[in-house]
Structure 1
Amino acid sequence: MLHFFIVIVGVYIATIGFALLINVSPRALNLGGVVAVSGYLVYLAYSTFVGGYVGGNVFGAFSIGIFGMMAARYKKMPVIVFNTPALVPLVPGGQAYQVMKYVAMNQPHMAFYYLTQVVMIAGSIAMGFLLSELFIQLFYYTRRQILRKLDHM
């Protein structure tokens, strides 16, 4: 349980630290950290109970996209202010490091193995964001249609 708490606090602090590096407004720092923690919790839950880093990253990025849009509406700020720092825990930095290490050691098979992981994780993060945008657009479209029908009654 202590390990889980340390991981969550680490995700929050890493997100806030990265947000400070890229000059995110102080108004968005706390909520940006909460968005990152929520996305990482979804990633951890999927990876733990279902398995697979690709699906975990899709659902983690999807939840970051949804919660980021909700936070942006709440704070009346651009979505990118919340989504960009919240992605830090999902970025495949360890695998990218392994690619460069094995390239330098002249072991192309291992470098290619880790490169495929990097590409799959990056693609799954992009897919998660795409699906979250699609979901939000469908939600607001359906809501507008229902409200129009209610107005005509």
Structure 2
Amino acid sequence: MSWTALYASFFATMGFGVLFNVPRKTLLPIGLVGMIGWMIYVGLTLNLQINLITATLIASFSIATLSQILARRFKMPVTVFSIAGIIPLVPGGMAYDTLRQFIENNYMESVRLGSITLLIAGSIAFGLIFSSVITETFSQRKVFPKSD
């Protein structure tokens, strides 16, 4: 894992935070959330050879859980942290390659890449939802008490 990729994920996440007009005091934590999520994703795919969909699911779950913690710490909505933090995992390049293959009449490759793109997008959504459900379940049991 290169330092350049970590820095890029940090600043890209912060850039989307600026684009989404989040409060200034949350820009550094938002950047860290995106960087940590990317670090988990790359660590799982490169070091442990876990497939892309599973690694994306685990990384998005981690991002959403960290976002829940930071939202309570900063007394802000979870979406302030999770939406910008999930940006490094979004399969935009793969979606582009899917359409490029389709335009070049490579339909089988287009279908293959499109299927992977949809599975990655689904795993991002499932990771975010699963984290929310787990956090709400434990906060109702007073394991993670909500701050007032």
Task: Give the RMSD, CA atoms, in angstroms.
Answer: 1.3
Q: Which runs of 4+ in 1 moved over 3 A?
A: none
Structure 1: runs of 5+ lacking an equivalent:
145-153
Map 1:101-140; keep pairs closer than 5 Å: 101-140=100-139
Q: Which residue of 2 aligns with 1:74?
A: 73
Q: Which residue of 1 aligns with 2:142?
A: 143
CA distance in 2, matches of 1:50, 1:130: 25
Q: Which residue of 2 aligns with 1:18?
A: 16
The structure that has the greater radius of gyration is 1
Q: Aligned-pair distance for 1:50?
A: 4.2
Selected match of 1:5 from 3, 12, 18: 3
Q: Aligned-pair distance for 1:74?
A: 0.8
Selected match of 2:41 from 34, 40, 43: 43
Q: For residue 113 of structure 2, what is the amino acid of its counterpart?
A: Y
CA distance in 1, matches of 2:110, 2:63: 29
More helix by share: 1
Percent identity among equivalent residues? 29
Q: TM-score, normalised by structure 1?
A: 0.87
Query: Size of the alignment, in residue pairs?
Result: 142
Q: For residue 127 of structure 2, what is the amino acid of its counterpart?
A: G
Q: Which residue of 2 aligns with 1:91?
A: 90
Q: Which residue of 2 aligns with 1:56?
A: 55
CA distance in 2, matches of 1:9, 1:15: 10
Q: Aligned-pair distance for 1:100?
A: 1.1
Deviates most, 73-82 or 133-142: 133-142
Q: TM-score, normalised by structure 2?
A: 0.90
